[in-house]
Amino acid sequence: MQVLIELDDDQVDEVLAEGLKKAYEISLTFPHEPDYDELNDAFKILIKYFMGDKAGAKYLHSLAKVEKKYNAKRLVEAEGGL
């Protein structure tokens, strides 16, 4: 059985944004994949496009707090006992 659901443009954008957010969160768990940085940059652009600049930036900022990024200088300092 097929069901047809009509969505206005705002609803379509919301559905796309939710799908992009989920895909972006999944991609963050695979940092050693080829083209990781390019793919995540593309996700960031699309998320901001479909959510709007302000809401997209807020969402990405909230994920940046959780995303683990390793800083070589801090790792060397930690190794040195700091």
Average pLDDT, consecutive stretches of 10 residues, N- to C-terminus, the chain (82 residues): 93 94 92 90 95 93 69 58 51
pTM of the model: 0.71
Amino acid 64: pLDDT: 77
Cβ atoms of residues 57 and 45 within 8 Å: no
Q: Which residue in 33, 24, 18 sits closest to 63, CA to CA?
A: 24
User: Residue ranges of the domains in the chain?
Assistant: 9-79
| pLDDT for 77 | 62
| Cβ atoms 60, 47 nearer than 8 A | yes
